[in-house]
């Protein structure tokens, strides 16, 4: 089976370092057209700004192209099973990137596709975001040693991949979520196996006390719109505002819901490095794509 990236720990710690270094090199120098004439199929069950545009422009920069396969464009979800989509699309393209609801669907894609499958966000994981986040932290702080991050907000997909990625990178991490919104046991165990389990708490102020960076994500994720009222009530007290931030650096995967998980003031402040994160999605993915292309 070809190498895929369904979550960040599909890479070894050394491979993660290689992909990040390659991403930084491509960002600094470009590198001809390493994916000349290669095609990325991009399957989307949910909307996207950054993931779509960064993968599509990234493939162009690398000398290849991308095919957008939105929810109304292909049979997936309307009568063609995942495994049939995987086998057919893989006969045309060199890589598949998929943004779907159920994480089991990217696993099935990877099982049946004969090309690498890249997770572009499931309900459980967002490894491409973590690659970009680690690249951004490394640029800002010159490395990962002595960097302390506090996650404040929902402990779902973006948080979970960041927990694993932080464990791999050796970042000190505290995760503050309301009760009932913490990371899965499986994610905690995988971080522990990597020797770097995050601290967890229900107290945002305590979480940020020793942090250099505060990272947050929306409270109402795509597909959770019917839980909106309940989640807004449950996340009261978890807003990242200027009082919580002080002089800390602020990260957000975007899109941001101003007035909910973060204030406009914080997002627009010099503390926020969210546009570097967004740009680094492309460089990180370029590093990943060129690395995947070289694997057996």
Q: Quote the CA–CA distance of 271 and 152 in Å, as a whole number.
A: 16
> 137 and 143 in contact (C-beta within 8 Å)?
no
Site residues for ligand CP, window 89-108 (CB under 6 A)? none
Closest to 276 in 3D by CA, of 257, 253, 258: 253
Among 54-62, 133-141, 218-226, 269-277, the segment contacting ligand NVA (CB under 6 A): 218-226
Q: Quick check: bond before 183 cis, omega within 30?
A: no
Is the Cβ of residue 194 or residue 289 nearer to ligand CP in the bound state?
289
Out of ligand NVA, ligand CP, none, what residue 263 binds, judged by CB under 5 to 8 A for its kind, is: none
Q: Which two tokens stand for residue 6?
A: 């369904």
Does the active-site annotation cover 217? yes
DSSP secondary structure string for all residues of 222-276: TT-GGGHHHHHHHTTT--B-HHHHTT-EEEE-S---BTTTB-HHHHTSTTB-HHH
- Pattern of binders to ligand CP over 240-259, x per CB under 6 A? -------------xxx----
End-to-end C-alpha distance for the chain, whole angstroms? 9
159 is in an annotated binding site: no
160, 188, 217, 239: which one is catalytic? 217
217 sits near ligand NVA (criterion: CB under 6 A) = yes
129, 130, 160, 249: which one contacts ligand CP (CB under 6 A)? 129
Find the catalytic residue in 188, 253, 277, 283.
Answer: 253
Q: Is 159 a catalytic residue?
A: no
List the catalytic residues.
99, 126, 129, 217, 253, 281
Q: Tell me which residues touch ligand CP (CB under 6 A).
A: 48-51, 121, 129, 253-255
């Amino acid at each position: 089976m070809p190498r895929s990236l369904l979550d960040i720990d599909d890479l070894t710690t050394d491979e993660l370092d290689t992909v990040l270094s390659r991403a930084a090199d491509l960002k600094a120098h470009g590198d001809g057209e390493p994916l000349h004439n290669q095609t990325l199929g991009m399957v989307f069950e949910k909307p996207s700004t950054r993931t779509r545009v960064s993968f599509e422009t990234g493939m162009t920069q690398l000398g290849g192209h991308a095919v957008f396969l939105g929810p109304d464009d292909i049979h997936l979800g309307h009568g063609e099973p995942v495994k049939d989509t995987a086998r057919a699309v893989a006969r045309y393209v060199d890589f598949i990137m998929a943004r779907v609801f159920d994480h089991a669907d990217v696993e099935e894609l990877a099982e049946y596709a004969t090309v690498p499958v890249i997770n572009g966000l499931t309900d459980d994981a967002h490894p491409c975001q973590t690659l970009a986040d680690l690249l951004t932290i490394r640029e800002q702080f010159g490395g990962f040693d002595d960097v302390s991050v506090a996650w404040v907000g929902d402990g779902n997909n973006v948080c979970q991949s960041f927990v694993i990625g932080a464990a791999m990178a050796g970042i000190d991490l505290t995760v503050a979520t309301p009760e009932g919104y913490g990371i899965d046991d499986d994610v905690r165990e995988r971080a522990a196996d990597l020797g770097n389990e995050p601290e967890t708490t229900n107290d945002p102020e305590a979480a940020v006390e020793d942090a250099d960076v505060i990272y947050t994500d929306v409270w109402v994720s795509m597909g959770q719109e019917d839980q909106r009222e309940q989640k807004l009530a449950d996340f009261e007290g978890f807003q990242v505002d200027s009082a919580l931030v002080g002089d800390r650096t602020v990260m957000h995967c975007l899109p941001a819901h101003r007035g909910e998980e973060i204030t406009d003031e914080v997002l627009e402040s010099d503390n926020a490095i969210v546009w570097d994160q967004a740009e680094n999605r492309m460089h990180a993915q370029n590093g990943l794509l060129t690395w995947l292309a070289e694997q057996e």
